[in-house]
């Protein structure tokens, strides 16, 4: 046996050389072992052993290498298991994930091609874990811990996305800001635990209400802006029409009936709302509609709380 | 490369059109997604002009390149702006990976996508030249456009082709580029004029 041949047989990945009739000129030990269900040896014809290959991409790639001298890569994401290769000692029903490179070789004026095969199942597994972790971290980075709704960071990207969408489709968009009335008094009076409960109860009920209300886009979202201030993005709804929705949200919060003994407004927890909107083509920007909604909210509070105020039109 | 006539540029566009059309159908079959590619626009430009014209200064590109040698030698590459390359591969794989960079698996998949498109171009050029050349495996790099386009010989122009990749209602712009030595440029031009005479005659 030639030294090269011995070395290739020690290799922990697969090597196979085919001639233009698809005769196996050489196949290394690793690959022979991995073909657990067929015996691929020197001198066999690949397509006779594995007739199913002839309708598959790997066959096209082999022919392209032999006939045109073009190399090919078969990546595991796009071709999970081009060859029926199984891990040694594992009687799994699934072949292992493979990375295959096919390269043309000219020798003595004849065309050959070399297949180089790697078992990449470990890499596939590792990346799946990494993706799961990244998804989990992403979720954590975008969710408000107390209430489970979108946090401010998430709100920023949601609003940016909604503005881009409204601009592209020239559709309407409303932004609601709301604030629990006299929340500091509530906390001072009943303690922070009660305050936490109040916030999570309100967001839970309101999320459900938004989901079930007819006429509200499924992309509508509730987010905690900070402290006791929240916002709701309503795509495809003009500010004038958003007033009625905001009124219903205000009503829902009031109807929960959480007692607020220190409130000068009502005997229960209430909220004040400010509404602004985005019109494509106008000078509205992310900052300007947030500012306008916040101003409207301020006016709602200044004129007695527990009410909805629409931002001034310019 | 001296300027090509409008007719020669049209012929090149036609050749690349067939190539990208073929690769689009291979990619559709492979990914199970509908992949379309628009009629390519062919330019011959200096690297500086490419960067200028396409507003790519300081833009990072994901580049899949293959070296080819023979009567016609150089480096062929498929490039996407880094951000689009993430979209291309994720739309094709139908995955929603939250990572901001290409993962190893995605890099391999992108190499294969590039390999399919570049091979189709090689095959078409070989047919036109009536000659085969040998190619190397694709390599994937992420770098600034300036760095990528200056890997060829200095002062040479680039055969630069714009393609639009249509994937799930998204249109993503990609570029094909061929960096060649002067002999290969001459070969290509000669072959083009022979090809055109053949077509016209």
Domains parsed from chain A with CATH numbers: 3-124 (3.30.450.20), 143-310 (3.30.70.270)
**B111 contacts in A (CB within 8 Å)?**
73, 75
Cα separation, B154 vs B151, whole angstroms: 8
Mean pLDDT of A2-8: 93
For residue B184, being part of any structural domain is answered with yes
Angle at B92 between CA A129 and CA A86, to 5 degrees: 55
Element (H, E) at A162: helix A152-169
* Sheet strands (E) in chain B: 35-37, 41-45, 60-69, 74-81, 134-135, 139-144, 158-167, 170-180
**Whether residue A6 has pLDDT greater than 90:** yes
- Look up A228 and say whether it is catalytic: yes
Mean pLDDT of A119-132: 91
Give which of B99, B56, B101 is closest to B79, Cα–Cα.
Answer: B56
pLDDT band of A165, cuts 50, 70, 90: confident
Mean pLDDT of A226-243: 94
Contact B111, B94 (CB under 8 A): no
Set A5, A33, A160, A228: catalytic member = A228
Higher pLDDT, A217 or A298: A298
Contact A216, A237 (CB under 8 A): yes
Beta carbons of A134 and B99 less than 8 Å apart = yes
Neighbours of B171 (CB within 10 A): 11
- SS3 assignment, position B35: strand
Check residue A145 and give its pLDDT. 92
A123: nearest CB among B104, B115, B137: B104
The backbone region for A93, taken as left when phi is positive above 0, alpha when psi lies in -120 to 50, beta otherwise, is alpha
Neighbours of B201 (CB within 10 A): 5
Q: How far from B48 is each of B54, B56, B150, CA to CA, in Å? A: 10, 10, 9
Mean pLDDT of B153-159: 75
Contact A74, B139 (CB under 8 A): no
**A134 contacts in B (CB within 8 Å)?**
97-99
For residue B65, being part of any structural domain is answered with yes
State the nearest Cα–Cα gap between B186 and chain A, in angstroms: 23
- Rg (chain A; Cα; Å): 33
Give which of B188, B150, B177, B139 is closest to B43, Cα–Cα.
Answer: B177
Length of chain B: 201
State the nearest Cα–Cα gap between A152 and chain B, in angstroms: 19
Nearest CA in chain A to B110: A75
For residue B1, being part of any structural domain is answered with no
Check residue B168 and give its pLDDT. 75
Q: How far from B128 is each of A104, B36, B132, CA to CA, in Å? A: 21, 24, 10
Contact B69, B47 (CB under 8 A): no
Nearest CA in chain B to A138: B98
How many CB pairs lie under 8 A apart between chains A and B? 75
Check residue B200 and give its pLDDT. 60
Contact B157, B44 (CB under 8 A): yes
Total number of domains constituting chain B: 1
- Rg (chain B; Cα; Å): 16
Cα separation, A266 vs A260, whole angstroms: 7
Percentage of chain A exceeding pLDDT 90: 81
For chain B, the residues whose C-beta falls within 8 A of a C-beta of chain A are 26, 30-31, 66, 92-93, 97-99, 103-106, 108-109, 111-113, 115, 119, 122-123, 126, 132-138
Check residue B132 and give its pLDDT. 76
For residue B168, being part of any structural domain is answered with yes
Structure tokens at A240: 């004038």
Nearest CA in chain B to A69: B134
Beta carbons of A72 and B126 less than 8 Å apart = no
Contact A30, A14 (CB under 8 A): yes
Sequence-distant contacts of A227-231: CB under 8 A, at least 24 apart: A227/A183, A228/A179, A228/A180, A228/A183, A228/A199, A229/A177, A229/A178, A229/A179, A229/A297, A230/A149, A230/A177, A230/A178, A230/A179, A230/A203, A231/A155, A231/A175, A231/A176, A231/A177, A231/A178, A231/A293
**Whether residue B128 has pLDDT greater than 90:** no
Q: Can you tell me which residue has the tokens 């999320």? A: A207
State the nearest Cα–Cα gap between A85 and chain B, in angstroms: 19
| Cα-based torsion angle of the residue sequence A293, A218, A224, A257 in order, rounded to the nearest 10 degrees | 90
Contact B122, B68 (CB under 8 A): yes
* Sheet strands (E) in B90-194: 134-135, 139-144, 158-167, 170-180
Beta carbons of B103 and A130 less than 8 Å apart = yes
Beta carbons of B108 and A73 less than 8 Å apart = yes
Contact B148, B18 (CB under 8 A): no
A79 and chain B: CB distance < 8 Å anywhere? yes
Structure tokens at A158: 């949601």
CATH code: domain of residue B74: 3.40.1550.10
The backbone region for A7, taken as left when phi is positive above 0, alpha when psi lies in -120 to 50, beta otherwise, is alpha
Range of the domain at B164: 6-200
A110-119, strands of its sheet edge to edge: A24-27, A14-19, A110-119, A98-107, A72-74
**Whether residue B178 has pLDDT greater than 60:** yes
pLDDT band of A88, cuts 50, 70, 90: confident
């Amino acid at each position: 046996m030639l030294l090269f041949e011995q070395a290739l047989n020690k290799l922990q990945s697969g090597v196979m050389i085919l001639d233009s009739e698809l005769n196996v000129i050489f196949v290394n030990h690793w690959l022979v072992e991995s073909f657990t269900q067929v015996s691929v040896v020197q001198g066999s014809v690949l397509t006779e052993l594995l007739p199913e290959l002839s309708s598959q991409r790997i066959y096209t790639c082999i022919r392209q290498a032999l006939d045109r001298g073009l190399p090919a890569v078969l990546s595991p994401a796009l071709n999970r298991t081009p060859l029926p290769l199984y891990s040694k000692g594992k009687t799994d029903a699934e072949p292992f994930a493979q990375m295959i490179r096919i390269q043309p070789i000219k020798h003595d004026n004849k065309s050959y091609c070399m297949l180089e095969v790697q078992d990449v199942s470990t890499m596939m597994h590792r990346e799946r874990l990494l993706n799961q972790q990244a998804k989990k971290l992403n979720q954590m980075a975008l969710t408000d811990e107390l209430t489970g709704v979108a946090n401010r960071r998430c709100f920023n990207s949601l609003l940016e996305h909604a503005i881009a969408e409204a601009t592209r489709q020239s559709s309407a968009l409303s932004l609601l800001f709301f604030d629990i009335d006299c929340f500091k008094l509530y906390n001072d009076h009943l303690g922070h635990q009660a305050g936490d409960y109040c916030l999570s109860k309100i967001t839970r009920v309101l999320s459900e209400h938004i989901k079930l209300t007819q006429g509200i886009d499924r992309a509508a979202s509730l987010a905690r802006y900070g402290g006791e201030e929240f916002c709701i993005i309503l795509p495809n709804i003009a500010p004038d029409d958003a007033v009625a929705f905001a009124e219903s949200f205000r009503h829902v919060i009031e109807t929960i009936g959480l007692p607020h003994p220190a409130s000068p407004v009502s005997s229960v927890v209430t909220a004040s709302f400010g509404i602004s909107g985005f019109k494509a083509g106008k000078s509205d920007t992310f900052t300007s509609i947030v500012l306008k909604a916040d101003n409207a909210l301020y006016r709602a509070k200044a004129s007695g709380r527990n009410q909805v105020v629409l931002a001034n039109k310019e | 490369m001296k300027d090509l006539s409008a007719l020669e540029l049209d012929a090149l566009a036609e050749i690349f059109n067939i190539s990208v059309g073929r690769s689009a159908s291979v990619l559709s079959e492979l990914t199970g997604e509908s992949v379309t590619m628009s009629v390519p626009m062919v330019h011959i430009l200096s690297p500086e002009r490419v960067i200028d014209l396409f507003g790519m200064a300081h833009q990072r590109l994901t580049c899949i390149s293959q070296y080819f040698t023979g009567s016609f030698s150089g480096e062929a590459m498929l490039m996407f702006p880094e951000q689009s390359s993430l979209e291309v591969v994720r739309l094709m794989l139908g995955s929603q990976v939250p990572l901001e960079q290409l993962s190893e698996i995605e890099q391999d998949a992108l190499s294969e996508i590039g390999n399919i498109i570049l091979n189709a171009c090689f095959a078409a050029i070989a047919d036109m030249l009536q000659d085969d050349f040998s190619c190397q495996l694709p390599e994937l790099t992420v770098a600034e456009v300036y760095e990528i386009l200056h890997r060829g010989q200095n002062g040479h122009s680039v055969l630069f082709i714009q393609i639009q990749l249509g994937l799930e209602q998204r249109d993503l712009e990609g570029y094909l580029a061929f960096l060649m030595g002067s002999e290969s440029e001459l070969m290509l031009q000669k072959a083009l004029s022979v090809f055109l005479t053949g077509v016209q005659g």
